[in-house]
Each structure stands twice: as C-alpha cells, then as structure tokens.
Amino acid sequence: MNHLLDLDTYPIDRPDSPACLALVESCRARLAEDGMFDLPGFLRPEATEAAARAAAPTMAREGFRHARRHNIYFRDEVEGLTENHPAMVKVETVNHTLCADQLQGNPVIALYEWPPFVAFLAAIMGKAALYPMEDPMARVNIQASRDGEALNWHFDRSEFTTTILLQAPDAGGELEYRKDLRAPDQPNYDGVAAVLRGEDPQVRRIALKPGALNVFQGVNTLHRVVPVRGATERMVAIFAYFDRPGVAMTAREQQGFYGRATASA
C-alpha cells in the first residue's frame, strides 16, 4: 500500500505506534471541533492521478448522468413541515456516477477494502468496527461534476461521509458545510432555512486538494458542493461503510441512484 498511500506521514499500517495513535486523536479532535477533518496528500499524487486517469474515459463513456430536483432531505414529505416551508425548498443537483463494478483495478477499490484503512476510520469514528458494503455498485462511487453542475445542499443518510478528491476543477467545486445544524431530536427547520437563504454566518467552505482524505459527519452537517466552473471536471471517490457487515442496496435503490440494478430484489 505504500505506493498508493503516504504511510510515512500517515502510518495507519502501524495502528499501535505512537504516531498513529496521535493521528487518530487529532482526527477525532478535529471531527468534534469542526465536524470535519482532511488529510492532505493521503493518496499519493501518482496514485491520485492514476485513479483519475483510469476513471475519466469510463466516466465519459458510461457515467450515469443523474439530474434531479430535491429538497435537502430527499423526501417529499417531512413530518411537521408544510410543503411551502423554506426548509422544503427544492434545489437542483446534477452529477455523473461510476459504481464500484465499473472501477475494477482502480486504486480506490484496493484502498476501500484494505483492512488497516477501514480500522483507522473506525477508530476515528469511535466504532468497534466498520465494514465495507456487500453491494457491488454502492460500495465505492466516483462522482464527476462538470461546468455548471453541483451536488446541492443535503444531509447524508449515513452518519459519516468518507471521500478522496481525485481531480479538482478549474474553479468552484469547494465543499460548503454547516456543522451540527441538526440533532436527532432537534431538526432545526428555521436554521436549515437560514442556511438555504445564505444567512448563516457559521457556514464554512473548504477547497480540498486532490489526494486529500476527507471525513465529515454528513448526517447532521448540511453540505453542498459549490457549482463547478471550467473545462476540467471535478472527480471525487466516495466510500460507503457500515457498522455491520453485509449491507447492500435493494434493486429499487440501485435503480434510483444509478439508473440500473445488479440486485434481484
């Protein structure tokens, strides 16, 4: 893995070493403080470029273009909200997706399954263990956004989101986020509406560098990707883990996310 990852700076292959324990601690502290941490240069530049180069022609040929209008919950009905509440406002998302079954041999697949990486993430998230998905499509995605496109404001369904930027666009494409905007017992609809109106001073923006590992608490952190500008597409690898083994999408979910299905039910 040393040829793919900068294990000198981030010694996750030696989990009991003082350096790795300190790394886990600092990531945990940043997650608690900022709702997010990133590790620049985690995936080495050559591996990052190789991953982007391998994905680009497949993306052009068979990437699934997904355009949709949605509210931040991806749901038509939300308890306690009328249809015209400002938190229900619809935004537009357009992106292009490759699934794990279209990424054979890509370095991001090897990384996804590498046990020390999975254990490192689990330690940071304070879980006894994390497990890769069984789903042949959803386990790893590469998403591309082109000129004018964006992944608009949303909360994630999973507690944490783990990504590595593979290619930065010429302009735009930053991640904007508002930490702790809601809690399990406090949906904070007025706060949500304020972010959507551009009136929340606590919204932050981060310009990730290719190769950076980025982890954030997407379930309570409202976030979006700022619209991309220019001829270079933004490409990001997205890793899905669960705290139990064997998780897979239904055929219906696959169809909804990817426009095709490998599951039979």
Ligand X SMILES: O=C(O)CCC(=O)C(=O)O
Give the 3-state secondary structure percentages of the chain, helix then strand then coil, rounded to 5.
Answer: 30, 25, 45
- Span near ligand X by CB under 6 A; candidates 9-17, 156-164, 184-192, 248-256: 156-164
Q: Which two tokens stand for residue 16?
A: 């009991």
CA angle 191-165-59, nearest 5°? 110
Q: Which does 111 bind (CB under 5 to 8 A by kind): ligand X, Fe ion, none?
A: none
Q: Rank residues 70 and 229 by Cβ distance to Fe ion and give the closer one.
A: 70
Question: Within positions 174 to 193, which residues make up the interface with ligand X, using CB under 6 A?
Answer: 175
Pairing of strands 213-216, 241-242: unpaired
Q: Does 151 bind ligand X (CB under 6 A)?
A: yes
Binding flags for ligand X, 111-150, as an x/- string (CB under 6 A): --------------------------------x-------
Q: Which does 163 bind (CB under 5 to 8 A by kind): Fe ion, ligand X, none?
A: ligand X
Residue 161: CB minimum distance to ligand X, A: 5
Q: Which two tokens stand for residue 5?
A: 């990852």
Tell which one of 93, 161, 167, 254 touches ligand X (CB under 6 A): 161
Q: Which does 71 bind (CB under 5 to 8 A by kind): Fe ion, ligand X, none?
A: none
In the DSSP assignment, the letter for residue 91 is E
- Residue 227 and residue 148 in contact, taking contact as beta carbons nearer than 8 Å: yes
Residue 96: CB minimum distance to Fe ion, A: 16
Q: Rank residues 48 and 220 by Cβ distance to Fe ion and give the closer one.
A: 220
Sign of CA dihedral 72, 76, 78, 80: positive
Nearest to 106 by CA among 251, 239, 12: 239
Residue with tokens 């599951």: 263
Tell which one of 91, 238, 251, 263 touches ligand X (CB under 6 A): 238
**What is the secondary structure of 112-181 as a DSSP string?**
HH-HHHHHHHHHHHT-S--EE-S-TTTSEEEEEE-TT----SB--SSS-EEEEEEE--SB---EEEETT-
3-state secondary structure of 76: coil
Residue 125: CB minimum distance to Fe ion, A: 16
Q: Which does 251 bind (CB under 5 to 8 A by kind): Fe ion, ligand X, none?
A: none
Residue 89: CB minimum distance to ligand X, A: 18
Residue with tokens 């055929």: 251
Q: Rank residues 48 and 161 by Cβ distance to ligand X and give the closer one.
A: 161
Residue 249: CB minimum distance to ligand X, A: 14
Cα–Cα distance, 132 to 172 (Å, whole number): 31
How many residues touch ligand X (CB under 6 A)?
A: 11
Residue 72: CB minimum distance to Fe ion, A: 10
Tell which one of 150, 236, 240, 249 touches ligand X (CB under 6 A): 236
**Site residues, ligand X (CB under 6 A):** 143, 151, 156, 161, 163, 175, 218, 223, 225, 236, 238
